[in-house]
Structure 1
């Protein structure tokens, strides 16, 4: 809005008000006297432009977006802690709150028998399954303590784009009165949930099915499914949770759909077939992450684009998804999982 208010433009306007019989050339006394003020005014206009960007929700960032969202009763989702399973000496009672250490991470044993990472965010999602835990407390009889699989992945603090999307959903009243979007909102409010999909009337009047992924956009664990159910409908049909009276909610996990990609490829000179495979795998994994519960069709054209744009690929042909040269349609509750990429090297 104020892009035209540059130092030069301001100086020209100021100097035009000076009497014609006074020297206003650059370096003159009057020019040098006005220049600092013009520079400060130009800087003020830059700040005014910035302030306008921070006022409106579609361009606000950081704490300014937080304040805008707070007007609609929405708060940025804080980072959540990873919850993992543990394996301990059989028959040994471990007090809740007992602390363990592994790979620069501290975990607390919880009342439900799981291990909660003390560090919020994705740190607790580290690849440490099977490693021995060091007990920081004296626990009689404890000889074995091993950290196991992730039950609820940790998640970083909500970014601006997600917060802005939730804000727009609220102010545009897309999620109201227990409609589909409202159930989706409730499910995704639960710590550890990534995305949710809602199926109304799936078993008759008053029934609602919610299928969820975890924060890593992978199938949810039983403990996470229970958390979602307890938050939305702890006593079916009684209206004790978020769901209204008469609504019977079923929560299920998304399911993997294993995908195999194959192609015949001619690598670039000085590029190996392993480089080609790594680049294609990375591209497909990124595509699948974006698709989870957003698009249920894996298009052959998308795989073609990934192969075509791989730096190590000179030419290619015969691209297939699960052995077929056609699009693959996923079921509504499925999320794609890359099983393998098979590359056949063409000869020059």
Structure 2
């Protein structure tokens, strides 16, 4: 049996006259102890229920239900990475034929292709999410032999495999809908529409960018990198197909919307480091890229400069770095301005 709350039990006992024996082991104390346990459970349920009224306390399905019931916003789903493989031989690759990496990540053909010598086959990953974004020259196997096809390889990375929208992003979209007046194709409306497409990480809107009745929507992907042509096309088709302004998408009639990707602004790093024992230069560079990359993601389409001091902090906090000196960003020792319609990304890292 659960123990009653001492403070609650004492309040109950204090409400009973002193003419009754209220010491442990006697009837009044034992009865009120049972009551205190039940009331304590009810109080806890009340506190738990109150927490559910604050969106900042919610995660997962509870968060998704909360924002849908209030604003009709749904979590954007995960997507399947796509790409092109070059099949060699003389035969036919049919829709659904499988190719895979050495680690077993499978890709299915999305078109039937007659291969004569070589042929480009569009593929889609069998599993949703970032797992399908594999580097070049990784899709080299066929789990099932295809008649006449002797080999396969992807000369370019696959792309646009995105995870389902994070709680943080979903909560941010809820706040945008609550705090920014979305109406009649205003700036906030274009922001909302673009973020409704899976894989869009952030958005900037430029009214009248190409003249009267025009809007430019600048997007980056979920990884806070320049968006692919595929993702750009999806957002374009959703808001204003072919930028015609005919009202065939979300944008109102007469509004010509042009969706573009933010241009990448590489931040090249040169620095002297004192490595911690057991770390190679390659290890440090990899960890530095990750640490600086996390900082740059946090300011993507939000800040107008890259902070020299913040990059230095990220370098120092990189795994394997004991200390550093002589930090240069793009050859200088000052903040780097980020022009409009650009996103800062990690460039080269050189250990001087």
Sort the TM-score into its range (normalised by shorter chain): 0.7 to 0.9
Q: Distance in 1 between matches of 2:123 and 2:105?
A: 11
Q: Which residue does the alignment assign to 1:211?
A: 218
In the superposition, the TM-score normalised over structure 2's length comes to: 0.83
State which of 186, 189, 199 in structure 2 corresponds to 1:179.
Answer: 186
C-alpha deviation, 1:278, in angstroms: 5.6
Instruction: State yes or no: 1:339 paired with 2:347.
Output: yes
Q: Which residue does the alignment assign to 1:141?
A: 148
State which of 186, 197, 202 in structure 1 corresponds to 2:209.
Answer: 202
Q: Which residue does the alignment assign to 2:66?
A: 68
Q: Which residue does the alignment assign to 2:258?
A: 250
Q: Distance in 2 between matches of 1:303 and 1:69?
A: 36
Instruction: State yes or no: 1:327 paired with 2:326.
Output: no
Q: Distance in 2 between matches of 1:68 and 1:317?
A: 49
Distance 1:70 1:281, change over 3 A: closer
Greater mean deviation of Cα atoms: 305-314 or 183-192: 305-314
Q: Which residue does the alignment assign to 2:198?
A: 191
User: Contact 2:135–2:156 at 8 Å: present in 1 too?
Assistant: no
In the superposition, the TM-score normalised over structure 1's length comes to: 0.83
SS at match of 2:77: coil
C-alpha deviation, 1:54, in angstroms: 0.8
For residues 235-254 of structure 1, the C-alpha deviation after alignment (integer angstroms, 9 at most, x for no partner) is 41222112222222222222
User: Contact 2:135–2:157 at 8 Å: present in 1 too?
Assistant: no
Q: Which residue does the alignment assign to 1:18?
A: 16
SS at match of 1:224: helix
SS at match of 1:55: coil
Q: Distance in 2 between matches of 1:30 and 1:299?
A: 68
User: Contact 1:153–1:215 at 8 Å: present in 2 too?
Assistant: no
C-alpha deviation, 1:177, in angstroms: 1.7
Q: Distance in 2 between matches of 1:258 and 1:200?
A: 27
Gaps of 5+ in 2: 113-120
State which of 46, 49, 58 in structure 1 corresponds to 2:47.
Answer: 49
Greater mean deviation of Cα atoms: 254-263 or 46-55: 254-263
Q: Distance in 2 between matches of 1:115 and 1:174?
A: 41
C-alpha deviation, 1:326, in angstroms: 0.9
SS at match of 1:143: strand
Q: Distance in 1 between matches of 2:289 and 2:166?
A: 26
User: Contact 2:77–2:198 at 8 Å: present in 1 too?
Assistant: no
Q: Which residue does the alignment assign to 1:119?
A: 127
Q: Which residue does the alignment assign to 1:109?
A: 109
Instruction: State yes or no: 1:8 paired with 2:10.
Output: no
User: Contact 1:259–1:322 at 8 Å: present in 2 too?
Assistant: yes
Instruction: State yes or no: 1:288 paired with 2:286.
Output: no
State which of 151, 156, 160 in structure 1 corresponds to 2:167.
Answer: 160
Measured on the aligned residues, the alpha-carbon RMSD in Å equals: 3.0
User: Contact 1:54–1:65 at 8 Å: present in 2 too?
Assistant: no
Q: Distance in 1 between matches of 2:90 and 2:221?
A: 31
Q: Distance in 2 between matches of 1:198 and 1:93?
A: 45
Distance 1:128 1:342, change over 3 A: closer
C-alpha deviation, 1:312, in angstroms: 6.2
Q: Which residue does the alignment assign to 1:3?
A: none
SS at match of 2:35: helix
